[in-house]
Structure 1
Amino acid sequence: MPLSLQILETIEQLKEMAKLEEEIWGTAPVPLHQTLTVAKNGGIIIGAYADGKLVGFVYSFPGFRNGEVYLCSHMMGIAAPFRDQGIGYRLKMKQAEEARRRGYRSIRWTYDPLQSRNGYLNLAKLGALGVEYVENCYGEMNDALNGQLPSDRFIVEWRLDERPTGERSLAKADLLKDRGLTVLEAGQRADGLLRPVPRDIDETAAPLLLAAVPLDFPQLKERDLALALEWRLATRSLFQRLLTEGWIAAGAWRRSGEPAMHYIWVRRNEWLPQKGEEE
């Protein structure tokens, strides 16, 4: 599929983005005066076009924290018929390229850690790190994707001085298959749905930790809302604890045919000093 990526900055382009945003989430889009102001003041808005039609976008603006200016990537959306075709990855890579060109050193954004598609893209393919967990980040949300559950979010950081692409090689395959490193399993119920099963393991000597989430959380939520809330609360409790104890989410792993994805957790003080090193 021929695809072109373009910087969005005109009123006409941003109106087209607003229309796509409304189509994807079913809610009122970011006002045009806001997106236009962002485009003119250090923000980066990129659109993906197929046959001249806007089918995806990423929307970001400057942020500031702890004395550092970074790019805050607030929203990325892909039209339903064009998902799972690598468009999100291409948009993020173009965003990183443009951010470097403009002098940004890092990009930060939030995502729901129970959305495995986003988790795999962000941590495994892009190489971002899950560094914070925010409970009910946006309060009550009424769109189809987020409704009926607390809007918990990972905050991820993508350092642009690291390798720009490629999936991280965090461990040998035998480590990823080691149940002794799994702190949260996905147990299968009689109806086929997955339930969270916490495991008490000795974490002190573990080279990494694995935590499962359902591969298709939206479907699970649609079939059993109470079970979806159970997953939300189980991952919230675990992920907050791990971050407090000095772990960070540094990768994601999935095996063909399995209905779960595993987050790979590593010790912050052992991982972060390696940033920017050549392999």
Structure 2
Amino acid sequence: MPLSLQIIETIEQLNEMAKLEEEIWGTAPIPLHQTLTVAKNGGLIIGAYESGKLVGFVYSFPGFRNGEVYLCSHMMGIAESFRDQGIGYRLKMKQAEEARRRGYQRIRWTYDPLQSRNGYLNVAKLGAAAVGYVENCYGEMNDALNGQLPSDRFIVEWRLDERPTGERSLATADVLKARRLVVLDADQRADGLLRPVLKDVDEKAAPLLLAAIPLDFPQLKERDLALALEWRLTTRALFQRLLMEGWIAASAWRRSGEPAMYYIWRWRNEWLPQKGEEE
């Protein structure tokens, strides 16, 4: 049976979502009274079903900032055996379609900038942009994905009214030409793990910048926690500075066989139309 996407709104569906959430993260799920209230009051919860079984979901609710209501996409989860099959992309595109229909003009969410799978989906495939950074956003987290490191997050904005959604990235040839504009590279150690290496670049004259992260950060963290913390603190300082100076992470690039992914940074005023607001 092909995958189907459905709006989740009944108690039975929400209980099934809670079980999947617990299975994915190994922590207590969002309480049913909260998810049910969201579903009945302007929120949007979408499930991905395979043969009638819930295998993924995206959970979102209304947010408010600078006089504008937007959709805050708080959580997306995919069952382990169904990952890397494009389900996350389909859920997000369905979310955008339904959000437009309900009158939302943008979707915002957070994610760990060192998680390359999420990064590539968000800024390359979907066409969203990382426009802000929050240090230790959720404090100490004890789940398998976030444990032992500060829970730093990118703030992502997906504008539904001004730019069509869909994949955007530089061609490999263009990225290779731009290698001289790498501000953060990944140097492979003798044990195969990557360490962060900052580069000296004339940023003011650059049309774009490239910043590397490990392609498999969870594995790196498992093998060398001190190195993982070095990546966290190095990228934190760099990404916060770039955002403050007017850059945004507007896309990403990776190539088969390479152990790193590169964020592609653009000048914000050349990439996102301005609305007279401050992030």
The TM-score, its normalising length taken from structure 1, stands at 0.96
Residue 98 of structure 2 is matched in structure 1 by 98
TM-aligned CA deviation for residue 177 of structure 1: 3.9
Determine the structure 2 residue equivalent to 1:58. 58
Matched, 1:212 2:219: no
- Structure 1 distance, partners of 2:175, 2:221, is 31
What is the identity, as a one-letter code, of the residue corresponding to 2:151?
S
* SS across alignment from 1:22: helix
**Aligned-partner Cα distance in 2 for 1:264–1:45:** 30
The 3-state SS of whatever aligns with 2:57 is strand
Match of 1:147 in 2: 147
CA distances 1:43-100 after superposition (whole Å, capped 9, x unpaired): 0000000011000000000000000000000000000000000000000000001100
The residue number in structure 1 matching 2:2 is 2
Aligned to 1:118: 118
Q: Name the structure 2 match of 1:21.
A: 21
TM-score (norm 2): 0.96
What residue ranges of structure 1 are gaps of 5+ in the alignment? Answer: none
SS of equivalent to 2:270: helix
Which residue of structure 2 lines up, in the alignment, with residue 179 of structure 1?
179
Match of 2:133 in 1: 133
Runs of 4+ in 1 over 4 A off after TM superposition: 169-172
C-alpha change, 1:249 and 1:73, in structure 2 (3 Å) is: same
- Give the letter aligned to residue 56 of structure 2: G
Kept in 2, the 8 Å contact 1:140–1:151? The answer is yes
Equivalent residue, structure 2, for 1:158: 158
Cα distance in structure 1, aligned partners of 2:198 and 2:179: 12
Correspondence 1:252 to 2:252:
yes
| Structure 1 equivalent of residue 223 of structure 2 | 223
Question: Paired residue for 1:109?
Answer: 109
RMSD between aligned residues: 1.4
Find the aligned partners of 1:177 and 1:32 in 2 and give their Cα distance.
Answer: 51
* Cα distance in 2, alignment partners of residues 167 and 53 from structure 1: 29
Q: How many residues align?
A: 275
Which amino acid counterpart does residue 75 of structure 2 have in structure 1?
A: M
SS in 2 for 1:233: helix
The one-letter code matched in structure 1 to 2:91 is L
Is 2:63–2:69's contact at 8 Å kept on the other side of the alignment?
yes
Post-superposition shift, 1:164? 3.8
Report the 3-state secondary structure (helix = DSSP H, G, I; strand = E; otherwise coil) of the residue aligned with 1:146: coil
Following superposition, the deviation at residue 204 of structure 1 comes to 1.4
Q: Give per-residue Cα distances to partners, 1:195-245, cap 9 Å, x unaligned.
A: 000011111111100000000000000000000000000000000000010
- Secondary structure of 1:178's counterpart equals helix
How far apart are 1:175 and its partner, in Å? 4.2
C-alpha separation in 2, matches of 1:128 and 1:238: 20
Q: Look up the SS of the partner of 1:70 in the other structure.
A: strand
Aligned to 1:168: 168
Q: Distance in 2 between matches of 1:125 and 1:169?
A: 8
Matches of 2:71 and 2:248 in 1, distance apart?
21
3-state SS in 1 of match to 2:262:
strand
Structure 1 position 173, deviation (Å): 2.5
Cα distance in 1 for partners of 2:19, 2:128 equals: 29
- Say if 1:52 and 1:164 are closer, same or farther in 2 by CA, change over 3 A: farther
- 2:62 is the alignment partner of 1:31: no
What is the CA-CA distance between 1:162 and the residue it aligns to? 3.9
Deviation at 1:172, TM superposition (A): 7.3
Taking a change above 3 Å as real, the CA distance of residues 6 and 249 of structure 1, as seen in their structure-2 partners, is same
